[in-house]
Amino acid sequence: MKKIIMLFLLAGLIFTLSSCVTKRQHSSWQDYPPAPFFYNLKTEKVTVIVDHVREENISQQVFTIAGTYLEAQQQKYPKSGDTLLLEISIEQRSFMQNVEMYNSIFISCIVRDKEGNIYARENEYITGKQTFVAAAEQNTIITRILNRILGDQQKRYTARKK
């Protein structure tokens, strides 16, 4: 009898864990025209849309988070005349699965020069219960993406120091 109960509990546990919606994926493309050897990133534009509504307050928060983080991280690199502009687009949509509310968040970051040439693109796709409306979540997601973008700059700087 205990074996049958344990078998049902194990099957139920496997079923509930396999139907979990929380996922995070990302993609990037940084093989556009070669970026200048040293460059500084500056946040140019942030757009946030939550359930088809443009959120200016959240856009300003993300602009501040990204700008502050970029300034802090780029202090260790030499200043150069080349400035690349960062454009961030975020869209969140809510949906129901069973009786629970979930969010699908798409974040796209594009690095361009002043003429509009694209040098890098970084995307992240998140599905789960977290929401981009929360400031702590904004900081976590944006810094994670910016670290991936700044990784190329860090590799160049390290190679040059050697």
Domain assignment of residue 16, yes or no: no
Q: Can you give the residue range of the structural domain that contains 66?
A: 22-161
3-state secondary structure of 19: coil
pLDDT one-digit tens code per residue, 122-156: 999 999 998 999 999 999 999 999 999 888 777 76
Evaluate whether residue 87 is within a structural domain: yes
**Cβ(102)–Cβ(129) under 8 Å?**
yes
Report yes or no on 132 lying in a domain.
yes
Asked if residue 1 belongs to a domain, the reply is no
Instruction: Tell me how far apart the alpha carbons of residues 70 and 87 are, in angstroms, rounded to a whole number.
Output: 13
- Give the CATH number, domain containing residue 53: 3.30.160
The contacts of residue 76 (CB under 8 Å, 6+ apart) are 157
What distance in Å separates the CA atoms of residue 140 and residue 132, rounded to the nearest whole number? 10
Asked whether residue 7 is assigned to any structural domain, the reply reads no
pLDDT the model gives residue 59: 96
In the chain, the number of structural domains is: 1
Within a domain: residue 44?
Answer: yes
Q: Write out residues in the chain with pLDDT < 70, as ranges.
A: 1-2, 5-37, 78, 80-81, 156-157, 159-162
Q: Is 99 within a domain?
A: yes
| CB-count burial class (<10 Å; 0-12, 13-18, 19+) for 125 | middle
The predicted pLDDT at position 152 comes to 72
Element (H, E) at 120: strand 118-128
**How many CA within 13 A on the CB side of residue 49?**
9
Phi, psi of 85 (to 5 degrees): -100, 135
Extract the tokens encoding 153: 């700059």
